[in-house]
A and B are shown apart, each in its own frame.
Chain A
Amino acid sequence: MKSQSQIVSRTLVRLHSSWAVAACGVTLLMCVSGCGSTPAAWFRPNMVEATKQRLTPDQERQVSTVMLAMFGTPDAPVAPPETGLDEAKLQLAAGPVHSDIVGRKNGLYREHCAHCHGVTGDGLGPTAAFLNPYPRDYRPGVFKFKSTERSDKPTHEDLVRILHNGIPGTSMPSFALLSPPKVEALVEYVKYLSIRGETEIALMRAFFELDDEAQGKLPETREFLVDEVLTPVTEKWKSAADALIAVPEMASDLDLAASIAKGKELFYGDKANCVKCHGPTALGDGQANDYDDWNKAIVEVSKEVKSGLERAGETSTSGMDSEALAEHRGQLAWLDKFGRVLDGGDALRPRTIQPRNLRHGIYRGGRRPLDLYYRIHAGINGAPMPAAKGTVPPEEIWHIVNYVKSLPYELDGELGADRPMVAKDRF
């Protein structure tokens, strides 16, 4: 029997040439790992809107310059006083993740949110494409789950509630373990990104209304930038607390069984017509070919680009004068640019929205009866879910709420007009 040292020695000799190969491989791997530097955090311009508004490169630059002056950078955000945002909270949420001298953590947005929602709040973070539904794009200022009327902004408390509870059935987690000041800072930063995004869109759309004297350049005066562009955006946020949905109290002597029966009638009836999308069995198997507003915007511009390219392909340039030819070429260049914007990381592949399966008992906007009341009363902003307000009396909305709340527990009986529920539907 050979001694251990002999075996070790022989093993090492055999491995000797392998060491060199392994060392080279490891070095290569580490070089690949460390190649390039960390990209600097920056606010990505809204290229879909810019291209839609046919902005020239100079106009895009002007918007970027104005935005930088008004709102600063991801590392050093600035909140114009008109926004009413708390700068101290913004500083806590902005910038790279680090602890300050008293051990308080800064950079909360980049720690908790930016990987999905993106540094800009455009819903284009690195993980976004993998998630369904896609993370919210804050820039249009549209939020789904709130206690205000459909077209109004959410209240501060609405956003706090979403952060606290998360959104069940989606990738949005609950941040219930974060301290209240941290949640407050994150909500403030989300509002900042939303106001910033809406202001950018308003600036881009303002080019369309310029007269010839402006020579394609926005006025950079306080009157224009603050009074005409920023203030209309911020006013909506400030007035959100006054736009709360008035909820009638549910009758204390309500007969629940009768209420559920009435709610079922409304669910399948023409007035509420919930059955159209949620399906006859309430499994979410109704109309499912619609999009939410964010995806719809991309679908529409994609169609526009596609049909524009088809038309351009069919157009003969042989009989065109120089002016028409220049216009034709300009149109082709625009379509080409739009195609590149849509495919180049400024938009996600559109997905249809799936109506909620009401038999799972998973309610994204909150499971309280009050939350369901808000959803049914005002609909879901940005989604095809319409408002029952105006068609169903406020007191009767409670009947629908009661019926919807009973659906996960409806184990037998006739569920739909023409389709009984079977085990495979449930699971």
Chain B
Amino acid sequence: MNLPTIHWPHALACLLVGVTAVLLCFGALVTTYDAAMAVPDWPGTFGHNMFLYPLKAWLWGPWDLFLEHGHRLLGALVGVLTLGMAAAVWRRETDATLRALAVAAVLLVVVQGVLGGARVLLDDKTVAKVHACTGPLFFSVAIAIATLTRPPRLAAAKPELSATGGDDVLRPDRWKAVAALSTAPWVTAGLLGAAYVQLVAGAQLRHLDAAVDANTFRWLVALHLAGALLVTVLSIVATGTCWWLEAGAPRRLALMILVLVGCQLLLGAGAWVVSWGFPADWLPQSWTPAQATVARSARGAAVVTGHVVLGMLILGASVVLALSTWALRSSQRPGLGKERAFA
């Protein structure tokens, strides 16, 4: 009996994506609970070597300490995994760009670690903002590597990601598929960019310093709302475009992103409500709940943190969708010229 061989670059990249997702959840919780300065030193933890900090003090200590120290430990784990993944990619993959992506992941994880340390040592929210922008960027790179290192065996199991698009006999509505094939990569790339910009705008709001003026906050809210509109429109267009693709995976992925964006809009509104209550100017008075919102409630923290995490998921899914559509375009267009398609 032949045991399946492990394709290490892909396996490690997938593991990296999973651990990074947990790391990002911890990071989002650290910001929600304003726990970034729960441990005043770096790279140590209250004078201990970070890895030798007593388990009991961590797990049974203050909640803020649990989050911040956990975030650091997960960050270290992600660093080690990134090195392993990069080594595997370098050894097993020959493509220069894939190798470059692996190097970019290593650089990003190092930069991210240093930024995290600087945020603590300088106690500076500006560094925190950049730290919050680098996290999703690294997550995107990790997902891109995991997608592109997918072994042929797995690709064969799902031919829609790599197939040439089925038979060469043109159906009457085939021209729509061809048009979608040329449009979808650009739309999905736009969606990916917009999802990232939206996370950057959200990071500015999340790390808002109390000393900034009202105009700054007003502009940031406007930017975040405009970003939400852009992501919503692009996800609708992407779904509409991918719907005509002959491959099923991008279609399902785009639909999933659209659903996630819908949930994200609800969570965004929820994040406002749990932070500042119902906007009295815009809603009928009778909508106002009889009780005040409770600051630092688990439900409130879940809504706000969930909004951030879902934003990361939308970004990650957008990476896969963009790569899928580009891969389809690469695989199908050479064999299916426009003249023939529209004939």
Q: With a CB–CB cut-off of 8 A, which chain A residues contact B330?
A: 7, 10-11, 13-14
Segment from B72-80, B82-90, B256-264, B294-302 that makes contact with A: B294-302
- Does chain B have a CB within 8 A of A170? yes
Q: With a CB–CB cut-off of 8 A, which chain A residues contact B40?
A: 98-101
Mask, B46-74, CB within 8 Å of A = 1, is 10000000000000011011000000000
Mask, A86-103, CB within 8 Å of B = 1, is 000000000011111101
Assembly CA distance A278 to B157 (angstroms): 70
Identify which of B129, B163, B293 contacts A174 (C-beta below 8 A): B293
Q: Is B295's CB under 8 angstroms from A177's CB?
A: yes
Q: How far is the CB of B295 from chain A (nearest CB, A)?
A: 4
- Does chain A have a CB within 8 A of B306? no
Assembly CA distance A362 to B288 (angstroms): 8
> Given that A22-B193, A110-B210 are known contacts, is A37 also in contact with B200, CB under 8 Å in the complex?
no
- Does chain A have a CB within 8 A of B2? no
- Does chain B have a CB within 8 A of A12? yes
Identify which of B97, B123, B215 contacts A98 (C-beta below 8 A): B123
Q: Is B292's CB under 8 angstroms from A34's CB?
A: no
- Does chain A have a CB within 8 A of B151? yes
Assembly CA distance A173 to B292 (angstroms): 5
Q: How far is the CB of A292 from chain B (nearest CB, A)?
A: 15
> Given that A12-B98, A345-B214 are known contacts, is A177 also in contact with B163, CB under 8 Å in the complex?
no
Identify which of A2, A40, A98, A166 contacts B294 (C-beta below 8 A): A166
- Does chain A have a CB within 8 A of B285? yes
Q: Is B218's CB under 8 angstroms from A427's CB?
A: no
Mask, A14-55, CB within 8 Å of B = 1, is 111011001001100110011011111110000000000000
- Does chain B have a CB within 8 A of A71? no
Q: Which of the four size classes fits the interface of chain B? A: 35 or more
Q: How far is the CB of A36 from chain B (nearest CB, A)?
A: 7
> Given that A7-B330, A11-B148 are known contacts, is A174 also in contact with B294, CB under 8 Å in the complex?
yes
Q: With a CB–CB cut-off of 8 A, which chain A residues contact B288?
A: 168-169, 360, 362
Assembly CA distance A348 to B217 (angstroms): 14
Kindly identify, within residues 179 to 229 of chain A, every residue whose CB is under 8 Å from any CB belonging to chain B. none
Mask, A58-82, CB within 8 Å of B = 1, is 0000000000000000000000000
Q: How far is the CB of A6 from chain B (nearest CB, A)?
A: 8
- Does chain B have a CB within 8 A of A175? yes
Q: Is A174's CB under 8 angstroms from B98's CB?
A: no
- Does chain B have a CB within 8 A of A112? yes
- Does chain A have a CB within 8 A of B152? yes
Q: Is B62's CB under 8 angstroms from A103's CB?
A: yes
- Does chain A have a CB within 8 A of B3? no
Segment from B14-22, B232-240, B276-284, B308-316 that makes contact with A: B276-284
Identify which of B130, B150, B162, B214 contacts A30 (C-beta below 8 A): B130
- Does chain A have a CB within 8 A of B321? no
> Given that A115-B208, A175-B295, A360-B288 are known contacts, is A1 also in contact with B130, CB under 8 Å in the complex?
no
**Nearest neighbor of A40 in chain B, beta-carbon distance:** B211
Q: Is B97's CB under 8 angstroms from A126's CB?
A: no
Q: Is A357's CB under 8 angstroms from B285's CB?
A: yes
Identify which of A26, A127, A357, A362 contacts B290 (C-beta below 8 A): A362
Assembly CA distance A111 to B65 (angstroms): 16
Assembly CA distance A15 to B217 (angstroms): 36
- Does chain A have a CB within 8 A of B289? yes
**Nearest neighbor of A22 in chain B, beta-carbon distance:** B193
Q: Which of the four size classes fits the interface of chain A? A: 35 or more
- Does chain A have a CB within 8 A of B5? no
Kindly identify, within residues 131 to 148 of chain A, every residue whose CB is under 8 Å from any CB belonging to chain B. 131-133
Q: How far is the CB of B294 from chain A (nearest CB, A)?
A: 5
- Does chain B have a CB within 8 A of A128? yes
Assembly CA distance A402 to B290 (angstroms): 19
> Given that A1-B164, A166-B292, A360-B290 are known contacts, is A8 also in contact with B327, CB under 8 Å in the complex?
yes
Q: With a CB–CB cut-off of 8 A, which chain A residues contact B156?
A: 4
Mask, B129-168, CB within 8 Å of A = 1, is 1100110010000000000101110011000001110000
Assembly CA distance A103 to B62 (angstroms): 7
**Nearest neighbor of B330 in chain A, beta-carbon distance:** A10
Segment from A117-125, A324-332, A383-391, A410-418 that makes contact with B: A117-125
Assembly CA distance A118 to B209 (angstroms): 10
Q: With a CB–CB cut-off of 8 A, which chain A residues contact B97?
A: 12-13, 15-16, 19
Identify which of B189, B216, B279 contacts A126 (C-beta below 8 A): B216
- Residue numbers of A with Cβ under 8 A of B are 1-5, 7-16, 18-19, 22, 25-26, 29-30, 33-34, 36-42, 96-101, 103, 105, 110-112, 114-116, 118-119, 124-133, 165-178, 284, 345, 348, 357, 360-362, 426-427
Which 7 A-B pairs have CB atoms at the shortest separation, nearest pair first?
A: A166-B292, A114-B210, A98-B37, A126-B217, A10-B330, A4-B152, A12-B97
Further contacts, 19 of them, CB under 8 A, given A22-B193, A42-B211, A171-B277: A1-B164, A5-B95, A8-B98, A26-B137, A34-B129, A98-B38, A99-B38, A103-B38, A103-B61, A103-B64, A116-B276, A129-B214, A130-B279, A168-B289, A168-B291, A169-B280, A174-B292, A176-B294, A284-B285
- Residue numbers of B with Cβ under 8 A of A are 34-40, 46, 61-62, 64-65, 95, 97-98, 123-127, 129-130, 133-134, 137, 148, 150-152, 155-156, 162-164, 189, 193, 196-197, 200, 203-204, 208-218, 221, 276-277, 279-281, 284-286, 288-297, 323, 326-327, 329-331
